[in-house]
Structure 1
Amino acid sequence: MLWAAAGVVTLGFLVALEFAARHYGLRGPLTNQAREVIFAPSSGPLLYAGLALLMVVLTWRQRLIAAGAAIGVDLVFLLVRWLAGAQLSFGNGALWVVLGCAVLAVTRRTGQERALLLKGVGLALLLVAGHKTGDTWLLITSKTRPQVLDQYVATADHALGNPSWLVGRLVEASGPIGSHGLHLVYGQLPLAAALVGLYQLRHVAAERRFPAHHLVRTFLVIGLLGPAVYMIFPVVGPVFAYGADGGHWATADLWPHTMPPIGVPHAIPFDEITPRNCMPSLHTAWAMTLFIHSRKGSRAMRFAGAFWLVATLTATLGFGYHYGSDLVAGVVFALTVEAAMRAFARGWDRSGVRFVAYGATVFTALLVAYRWLPRQMADLPWLFGPLLIVAMGSVIFFYVRTTKPWDAQPVPAPLPGPRSGQHDSPDSQAAEPQPEPA
Structure 2
Amino acid sequence: MQLAQWRRPRVILWATAGVVAFGFLITVEIVARRCAGVPGPITAQARELVFAPKPGPLYGGLALMMVVLTWRQRFIALGAAIGIDVVFVLVRWAVDANVPEGHFFGNGALWAMLGCAAFAITRRTGRERALLLKGVGLGLLLVTGRKTGDTWLLITSKTRPNVLDPYVATADHALGNPSWVAGRMLNSAGPVATHVLASVYAQLAVAAVVVALYQLRNVASERRFPRHHLVRTFLVIGLLGPAVYMIFPVVGPVFAYGPGASGTGGVQWAVANLWPHTPPPIGVPHAVPYDGITPRNCMPSLHTAWATAIFIHSRQGPRLLRYAGTFWLIATLSATLGFGYHYGVDLVAGVVFSLTVETAMRTYDRGWDRSGVKLVAYGTAVFTVLLLTYGFLPLEMARHPWAFGPLVILAAASMIYGYVRTTQRWEPKAAPTLRAEPQPEPV
TM over 0.5: yes
Q: Given the alignment of the two structures, is residue 381 of structure 1 paired with residue 396 of structure 2, yes or no?
A: no
Please give the residue correspondences for 1:325-340 in structure 2 after superposition, counting only pairs within 5 Å: 325-340=345-360
Aligned residues of 1:234 and 1:277 also touching (Cα < 8 A): yes
User: Which amino acid counterpart does residue 8 of structure 1 have in structure 2?
Assistant: V
Q: Tell me how far apart the structure 1 counterparts of residues 81 and 259 of structure 2 sit (CA, whole Å).
A: 43
2:58 to 42, 47, 60: 47
Letter in 2 for 1:38: V
Aligned to 1:192: 207
Q: CA deviation at 1:404?
A: 1.2
Look up the match of 1:20: 31
- Matched residue, 2:75: 64
Is 1:350 aligned to residue 370 of structure 2?
A: yes
Structure 2 partner of 1:10: 21
Q: State the secondary structure of the residue aligned to 1:247.
A: coil
Match of 2:343 in 1: 323
**C-alpha offsets along residues 53-100 of structure 1, whole Å, 9 cap, x if unaligned?**
010000000001001100000001011011111126111110001001
For residues 153-177 of structure 1, the C-alpha deviation after alignment (integer angstroms, 9 at most, x for no partner) is: 0000000000000000000001111
Superposition deviation, residue 347 in structure 1: 1.8
Instruction: Tell me the SS of whatever aligns to 1:127.
Output: helix
The alignment status of 1:306 with 2:326, answered yes or no, reads yes
Q: Which amino acid in the other structure matches residue 421 of structure 2?
A: R
2:50 to 35, 38, 41: 38
Per-residue deviation, 1:408? 2.3
Look up the SS of the partner of 1:169 in the other structure.
helix
RMSD, matched Cα: 0.9
Amino acid at match of 2:180: W
1:358-437 pair list within 5 angstroms: 358-408=378-428
Question: Aligned partners of 2:150, 2:427: CA distance in 1, in Å?
Answer: 35
Q: Tell me what 2:136 maps to.
A: 121
CA offsets 1:117-174 (integer angstroms, 9 cap, x no match)? 0100100000000000001110110011000000000000000000000000000001
Alignment of structure 1 residues 236-275 onto 2, 5 Å:
236-245=251-260, 246-275=266-295
CA distance in 2, matches of 1:140, 1:409: 48
Q: Deviations over 1:381-403 (max 9, x none)?
A: 00000000100000000001111
- Candidates 213, 219, 229, aligned match of 2:244: 229
Paired letter, 2:41 = P
Q: Secondary structure at the match of 1:276?
A: coil
Partner of 1:167: 182
The Cα of 1:293 is off from its aligned counterpart by 0.4
Question: What SS does the aligned partner of 1:277 have?
Answer: coil
Match runs of 1:70-219 below 5 Å: 70-86=81-97, 87=99, 89-219=104-234
Give the Cα–Cα distance (whole angstroms) in 2 for the partners of residues 169 and 408 of structure 1.
46
- Secondary structure of the corresponding residue to residue 268 of structure 2: helix
Number of matched residues? Answer: 409
Give the AA of the match of 1:215.
L
CA deviation vs aligned residue, 1:256-298 (integer Å, no higher than 9, x gap):
0001000000000000000000000000000000000000111
Aligned to 1:417: none
Q: TM-score, normalised by structure 1?
A: 0.92
Structure 1 stretch displaced more, 338-347 or 114-123: 338-347
Q: State the TM-score, normalized to the length of structure 2.
A: 0.91
Q: CA deviation at 1:346?
A: 2.3
Alpha-carbon distance in structure 1 between the residues aligned to 2:123 and 2:16: 24
Q: Deviations over 1:315-358 (max 9, x none)?
A: 00000000000000000000000010111122210001000000
Where does residue 293 of structure 1 map in the other structure? 313
Tell me whether 304-313 or 342-351 shows the greater mean CA deviation.
342-351
d(CA) in 2 for partners of 1:84, 1:345: 52
- Counterpart CA distance in 2 for 1:382 and 1:21 is 44
Q: Looking at both structures, which has the greater relative contact order when contacts are Cα pairs under 8 Å and sequence separation is at least 6?
A: 1
Amino acid at match of 1:171: L
The 3-state SS of whatever aligns with 1:106 is helix
State the Cα distance separating 1:405 from its structure 2 match: 2.0
Work out whether residues 336 and 356 of structure 1, in 8 Å CA contact, stay in contact via their aligned partners in 2. Answer: yes
Preserved CA contact (<8 Å) 1:212 1:346: no
Point out where structure 2 has 5 or more consecutive residues left out of the alignment: 1-11, 261-265, 431-443
Q: 1:423 maps to which residue?
A: none
Give, in whole Å, the separation in 2 of the partners of 1:329 and 1:380.
20
Match of 2:438 in 1: none
Which structure 1 residue ranges, 5 or more long, are not aligned?
Answer: 411-438
| Structure number with bigger Rg | 2
Where does residue 235 of structure 2 map in the other structure? 220
Deviation at residue 21 of structure 1 after TM alignment: 0.9
| Residue 364 of structure 1: how far off its partner (Å) | 0.1
Give how far 1:302 is off. 0.5
Q: 2: CA distance between counterparts of 1:264 and 1:351? A: 41
- Among the aligned pairs, what percent are the same residue? 70
Give 1:409 deviation, angstroms: 6.2
The answer to whether residue 41 in structure 2 is matched with residue 29 in structure 1 is yes
Task: After TM superposition, give the deviation of residue 407 of structure 1 in Å.
Answer: 2.4
Task: Please say if residues 213 and 342 of structure 1, whose CA atoms lie closer than 8 Å, have aligned partners that are also in contact.
Answer: yes
Q: Which amino acid aligns with 1:373?
A: L
Paired residue secondary structure (2:275): coil
